[in-house]
């Protein structure tokens, strides 16, 4: 009985370990999930009171047609960058924009956001949208699509396919990804959250690979609906997503008879056997001339006999009677009722008495009268 408290102590220790494990598992799962409405604390001057040690600068060129717009909105750009203590300069002679950090700059990432801002302005993004890059939750992506398609006409068609009729495809993509998308020249500029930028890049690259953007938009719509269900967040969505098969209509017609290439060998082909080699193999080379002649005559006689039999068979074909088709037995139609013989006899008698085209004659009128005969004789004499 002394062993019972020890056993109880062991069981309590194991249960304590299991409880710790479950707690750790719960903590890990909680760490992986981001709570709703959570926002990262903004970076303030208190986080970096001494500022930056070195000065950093970035410059970018802009096209000639953007000069007038940038000249108008440049005071607004300087004001927005002044809030993060970054200096901005516009050089209209060289056609470039430059951003620099100052002694008062405390946020080390502010210069990178300022660099993205001038890049977006150079790529025809309006200032109202480009200023959003200075926010913490917003990022940008400039996708170069000019070198993805060789043929210029094909590239223009695919770029127009991305925009859609009256910009409808681009608008649908913006609503699904919560990003601002600008198609200009050989680049596509996107501005929004990181998750949306990833989807925008995929859609743009697939469009340049001749995959219509409507397929990706359909999948995005389904994903958006599935994300609303909390039970499906941890499950795989492959069974819900459509699987579109690619149809290559411009496939070359394959020939009926395919020529199979033989495997390459460095050795030359084997030489064909000569007549002497064949005779040596069969043993005819060692026979006498008389024996050779006799053998040839025998072969000729065998061939003649085969030809005679074939000719005889062809001649005999003319004398072979053709196969007659079997006679088809006619089925007797069963009589519906008994035939009235007496009625048929009466009909035949009536038909004999009648004359064609004459009225029926009474039998009484046909009997001759003796007085009439005499009158007729006298008339004929007179």
CB-based contacts of 82-89 (< 8 A; 24+ apart in sequence): 83/134, 84/110, 84/113, 84/114, 84/134, 85/110, 86/110, 86/111, 86/114, 88/114, 88/118
Query: What pLDDT, in 10s, does the model give residues 82-117?
Result: 999 999 999 999 999 999 999 999 999 999 999 999
34 φ, ψ (degrees, to nearest 5): -90, 125
Name the residue among 179, 88, 83 with its Cα closest to residue 125: 179
CA 225 to chain CA centroid, Å, is 25
pLDDT at 123: 93
Residue 100 forms beta bridges with which residues? 57, 87
Which residue(s) pair with 139 in the sheet? 192
- Burial of 215 (C-beta count, 10 Å sphere; 0-12/13-18/19+): middle
Return phi, psi of residue 188, to 5°: -125, 115
Average pLDDT in the chain: 82
Per-residue confidence (pLDDT) for residue 349, from 0 to 100: 82
- Is the pLDDT at 227 greater than 70? The verdict is yes
For residue 241, pLDDT over 60 is answered with: yes
pLDDT reading at 206 higher than 80: yes
| Greater pLDDT, 199 or 285 | 199
Task: List the Cα angle 74/79/81 in 5-degree steps.
Answer: 95
For residue 337, what pLDDT is reported?
56
The residue-averaged pLDDT of 235-262 equals 77
The pLDDT, as a whole number, for residue 4 is 44
Q: Rounded to whole angstroms, how far apart are CA atoms 116 and 129?
A: 12
Q: How far apart are CA 329 and CA 198, in angstroms?
A: 85
* Cα distance between residue 103 and residue 85, in whole Å: 8
Q: Does 335 have pLDDT greater than 80? A: no
Tokens linked to 311: 């000719």
pLDDT of 245? 73
Compute the distance between CA of residue 181 and CA of residue 123 in angstroms, rounded to an integer: 11
What pLDDT shows up at residue 373? 46
Q: Identify which of 176-180, 334-338, 371-375 has the greatest average pLDDT.
A: 176-180
- Tell me: the pLDDT tens digits for 6-22? 434 444 444 444 444 44
């Amino acid at each position: 009985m002394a062993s019972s408290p020890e056993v109880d102590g062991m069981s309590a220790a194991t249960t304590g370990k299991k409880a710790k494990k479950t707690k750790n598992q719960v903590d890990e799962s909680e760490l992986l999930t981001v709570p709703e409405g959570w926002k990262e604390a903004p970076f303030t001057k208190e986080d970096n009171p001494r500022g930056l040690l070195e000065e950093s600068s970035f410059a970018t060129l802009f096209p000639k047609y953007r000069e007038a717009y940038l000249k108008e909105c440049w005071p607004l750009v300087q004001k927005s960058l002044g809030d993060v203590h970054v200096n901005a300069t516009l050089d209209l002679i060289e056609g470039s924009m430059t951003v620099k950090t100052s002694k008062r700059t405390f946020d080390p990432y502010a210069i990178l956001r300022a660099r993205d801002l001038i890049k977006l302005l150079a790529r025809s993004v309006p200032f109202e949208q480009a200023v959003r890059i200075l926010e913490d939750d917003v990022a940008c992506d400039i996708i170069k699509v000019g070198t993805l398609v060789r043929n210029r006409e094909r590239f223009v068609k695919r770029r127009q396919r991305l925009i859609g009729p009256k910009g409808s495809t681009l608008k649908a993509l913006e609503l699904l990804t919560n990003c601002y998308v600008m198609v200009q020249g050989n680049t596509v500029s996107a501005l929004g959250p990181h998750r949306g930028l990833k989807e925008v890049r995929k859609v743009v690259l697939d469009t340049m690979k001749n995959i219509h953007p409507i397929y990706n938009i359909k999948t995005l719509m389904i994903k958006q609906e599935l994300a609303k269900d909390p039970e499906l967040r941890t499950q795989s969505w492959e069974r819900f997503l459509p699987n579109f098969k690619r149809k290559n209509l411009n496939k070359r017609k394959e020939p009926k008879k395919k020529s199979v290439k033989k495997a390459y060998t460095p050795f030359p082909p084997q030489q064909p056997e000569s007549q002497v080699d064949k005779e040596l193999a069969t043993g005819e080379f060692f026979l006498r001339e008389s024996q050779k002649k006799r053998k040839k005559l025998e072969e000729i006689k065998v061939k003649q006999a085969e030809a005679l039999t074939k000719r005889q068979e062809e001649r005999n074909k003319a004398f072979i009677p053709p196969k007659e088709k079997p006679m088809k037995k006619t089925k007797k139609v069963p009589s519906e009722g008994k035939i009235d013989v007496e009625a048929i006899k009466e009909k035949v008698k009536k038909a004999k008495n009648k004359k064609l085209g004459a009225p029926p004659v009474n039998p009484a009128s046909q009997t001759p009268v003796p007085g009439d005969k005499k009158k007729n004789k006298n008339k004929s004499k007179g």
